[in-house]
Structure 1
Amino acid sequence: MRRRLALLAVATASLVLVAFLVPLAVLVRALAAERATATATAWAQSVATAAALGDRNTLEATVRQAAGSSGMPVTVFLPGNGFIGAPAPRGPGVELASRGRSITVETPAGREVLVAVQGGARGPVVVRAFVTAERLRQGVGWAWLVLGLIGLVLLAVGIAVADRLARSLIRPVRQVAEVSRRLAGGDLDARVEPADPPEIREVGTALNHLATRIRDLLAREREAVADLSHRLRTPVTVLRLEVDTMRDKGEAARVGQAVDSVERMVDQIIREARRFDRDGAPRCDATQVVGDRVAFWSALAEDQDRPLRLGLPDEPIGVGVSAPELAACVDLLLENVFAHTPEGTPFTVELTARTAGGARLTISDRGPGFAHPAPVDRGASGGSSTGLGLDIARRTAEESGGLLRARSLPAGGAEIVLELGPGPA
């Protein structure tokens, strides 16, 4: 925008300067020619006055004085073929002037000023003062140079003013853009300091109102989620009391672990909903979290006769996700395996490190595969579920800088690949 305004200023100033300087340059040239012609005419008339007196000596002295003072060749054509002064051809203009008419004649070499003198005893006398082409243009070159310099100075001033104006316009626009990027990045405290011009001030004020409105709506939404999550504590507490009354201690322990998992998830939802800004970037060891969650689900897999193959690296792998979030994500993916495949279906869980950093979690099974062609889409489900599990896992992966892929295998079954970004070093 700044460059375009500068180009616009250059174009506009150039047109104005051309429209102003070209006629002025022509006028300067015409004035120089008229000034030289007027000088020649004045000296020619003074010589004509001396010629009218009829004294040859006085006439010769006057011609020498005129030629020396003006720097122009002066010739007096006498009746017949005689002349006094600088030699010059007796052209058609001289013949016309000898009839008693003073004229100015343009020639390729310059301009002739011819003054007729009547009343001589031997006939009319013609005084010729010649102005060369160089004399007609004398001083024009310097005048044009001065005009050109003035034009360049005015053009530079116009560019400087346009650039200053452009910066005054661009600065608030850039501020608005920067605040927009900060808002898009989650900084809801970013605000614009409205500045002129009035249109940009209005945009900045509107953006501030929008940011305030977004913050209020987000706060209201998170409060609602937190309140809803808090209400879940009551049924979780009831479940825990029911577990305590169960006679089968093994079954009670397993159900108690499930209740603990639900309670941790509810607590995590409340913490996430209550805060606007994270206290530092999230990070955890994916090897430990995945190993713990697979160990939890392995008991149910053993009860349902599901062969489980687990592949974990020996070293820890840091990912840009908090441990509770990753645990909830792994639980969602494993729950899908148990919910949408028949008992006895084998499945595989494999965790590997990505080359670019982070981890790749692959969960595959030998079940019927996905009924929906795009299972990752929000709300897409081929069964009786809500279809939100894979969407939650996808958002978790994308927030860490990764992605989620899900497909049906050609040999049968389903495969889900969860790629997690490395997070900060």
Structure 2
Amino acid sequence: MRSRLFRLVAATASLVLIAFLVPLALLVRQVAADRATTAATAAAQSLVPVVATADRGTVELTVSQVRATSRYPITVLWPADGSLIGASAPRSRALQLAARGRSVTARAPGGREILIAVQGAPAGTIVIRTFVTTAELRAGVLRAWLILGLLGIGLLGVGLVVADAIARSMLGPVTALAALSQRLSGGDLDARIEPAGPAEIRDVGAALNHLAGRIGDLLTGEREAAADLSHRLRTPLTALRLETESLRDPAEAERVTAVVDALERTVTQIISDTRHPRRSGGRCDARQILTERVDYWSALADEQDRPVSTVLPDHPVPVAVDGDELAAAVDALLENVFAHTPEATAFTVRLEATTSGARVVIGDDGSGLPGGDLPGRGRSGRASTGLGLDIARRTAHAAGGALTLGRSPNGGAEITLTLPAPSAIS
């Protein structure tokens, strides 16, 4: 912005100075020429009274006296015999024209000649000639042009200095606004700016400050509401735990208690995350997380006669995702399999280690997703909230990975969760 304003002022000032200085320079040259011409004409006209009334001898004497004091050569064309009195001069066409009674000023090689025709003299029409050299016509012009050039450069410099000062006065507040917006986009909602600069920029700064405060208030309210809602779930969880204790089958009671414990840990994690959101992704062993989650869902799969196939490496697979977040994403994907495919439909959980991280692939033998594409958040073609896949998608995107949809070998849906390794984002 600063360089653009600088170039704009330089171009504008240059055009204005050229439009002003060029005509002025031409005028100075014309004035200098007119001044020299006027002085030479005055010197020649001083002889008019003498040549109009005196004889040749007196004219020769007067011409010699004038030449001694004048800087311009004086020549008199005597009409009786066509001879020249005074300085020698070429018999130009202008001299011949003046001899016929017409005073003229004409260009000549090396300068300008001035011819004054004096009529009514006893000897006939007498012509007084003087000559002004080119150097005399341009005397002082170069110096005046130099002064004008320096004046133009000075004015241009002043204009550029003023433009630079204006640009800096605007660029500073604009740069501060850009830095503030970057900090806000990075999640620093405590960032503020002291409004400065022109009124419009100050208004933008004040609006950004207000926007940051408003966003902070909304996020705080949202987190508190989510935490309060999650906290309210503890009461039914406590009642559910008491109910599990009354179960007669110890194995069933143990299984239900494990589910309640997992649900309570999830609620506790939600409360912690909403009140103190994490700003970095963390890391975990994807193989361990998938082993735990498949074991958890295997009990339900056995009840629904669902064949489960797992393909896991025999070594740890670190990924740049927090363990609880990855577990929630895998749960969301597996829940979709149970919710949207008929009982006895087989599914596969596969973990593939790659050079840049890992891929978690969950496929089923169902009919696939409606429309063949991942639904947006809150949208689903079936009886669901549409948030399950979005949880997995946001987990992948937050870590720098991706969530993609494909077809399993048996024609069902196949969701691939691509996750980077911890070193890939460090």
With the length of structure 1 as denominator, give the TM-score of the two structures.
Answer: 0.88
Query: Counterparts of 2:217 and 2:59 in 1: how far apart (Å)?
Result: 111
CA drift at 1:335? 1.8
State the match for 1:284 in structure 2: 284
Deviation (angstroms), 1:272: 1.3
3-state DSSP of counterpart to 2:113: strand
Q: Is the 8 A contact 2:405 2:416 kept in 1?
A: yes
Distance change in 2, residues 1:377/1:62 (3 Å)? same
Partner of 2:179: 178
- How far did residue 376 of structure 1 move? 3.0
Residue type of the alignment partner of 2:417: L
Q: 1:65 aligns with which of 59, 64, 68?
A: 68
Residue deviations 1:319-360 (CA, integer Å, cap 9, x gap): 3322111111111111222233333332211112344x3321
* Structure 1 residue aligned with 2:319: 319
Q: 1:279 to 1:111 in 2, by over 3 A?
A: closer
What letter matches 2:88 in structure 1?
A: P
Cross-structure match for 1:18: 18
The Cα of 1:408 is off from its aligned counterpart by: 4.2
Return the alpha-carbon distance in structure 1 between the equivalents of residues 40 and 150 of structure 2. 32
| RMSD of aligned alpha carbons | 2.8
Q: Which moved more, 1:256-265 or 1:103-112?
A: 103-112
Report the Cα distance in structure 1 between the residues aligned to 2:386 and 2:232, rounded to whole angstroms.
24
Question: Is this contact kept in 1: 2:285–2:317, CA < 8 A?
Answer: yes
Q: Could you report, residue by residue, the CA deviation over 1:190-219 in whole angstroms, capped at 9, with x for unpaired residues?
A: 222211100010011011111111111111
* Partner Cα separation in structure 1 for residue 37 and residue 370 of structure 2: 103
Deviation, structure 1 residue 63 = 4.7
Map residues 83-122 of structure 1 onto 2, 5 A cutoff: 83-91=84-92, 93-94=94-95, 103-109=103-109, 110-115=111-116, 122=123
Assess if the C-alpha contact under 8 Å between 2:63 and 2:74 holds in 1: no
Q: Deviations over 1:241-292 (max 9, x none)?
A: 112221211111211121111111111111111125x365433232222222
Paired AA for residue 186 in structure 1: G
For 1:15-38, what per-residue CA distance to the aligned partner results, in whole angstroms no more than 9, with x for missing partners?
311221122012111111012112
SS at match of 2:349: strand
Residues 126 and 57 of structure 1: CA distance in aligned 2, closer, same or farther (over 3 Å)? closer
Partner of 1:396, secondary structure, is helix
Aligned length: 419
Distance 1:89 1:371, change over 3 A: closer
Whole-Å Cα distance in 1 between the matches of residues 237 and 108 of structure 2? Answer: 113
What letter matches 1:364 in structure 2?
G
| Contact residue 60 and residue 86 of structure 2 kept, 8 A | no
TM-score (norm 2): 0.88
Aligned 1:92-171 pairs, distance under 5 A? 93-94=94-95, 103-109=103-109, 110-115=111-116, 122-123=123-124, 125-171=126-172
Within 5 Å, give how 1:286-305 maps onto structure 2.
286-305=286-305
CA–CA distance in structure 2, aligned partners of residues 49 and 358 of structure 1: 113
Tell me the residue number matched to 2:188: 187
1:176 deviates by 1.6
* 1:83–1:266 Cα change, 3 Å: same
Please show how residues 18-417 of structure 1 align to structure 2 within 5 Å.
18-46=18-46, 55=58, 58-66=61-69, 70=71, 72-80=72-80, 81-91=82-92, 93-94=94-95, 103-109=103-109, 110-115=111-116, 122-123=123-124, 125-275=126-276, 278=278, 280-355=280-355, 357-409=356-408, 411-417=410-416
Instruction: Tell me, yes or no, if the aligned pair for 2:281 and 2:399 is still in contact at 8 Å.
Output: no
* Identical residues among aligned pairs (%): 56
The secondary structure found in structure 1 opposite 2:131 is strand
Deviation at 1:89, TM superposition (A): 3.7
Q: Distance in 1 between matches of 2:172 and 2:352?
A: 48
Distance 1:368 1:95 in 2: 115
How far apart are the structure 2 equivalents of 1:10 and 1:263? 70
> What secondary structure is seen at the aligned counterpart in 2 of 1:76?
strand
Q: Letter of the aligned partner of 1:353 in structure 2?
A: A
Task: Provide the rounded CA distance (Å) in 1 between the counterparts of 2:283 and 2:192.
Answer: 30
CA change 1:83–1:265 in 2 (3 A) is same
Gaps (5+ residues) in structure 2?
none
Specify every segment of 5 or more residues in structure 1 that has no aligned partner in the other structure, as ranges. none
Structure 2 SS opposite 1:55 = helix
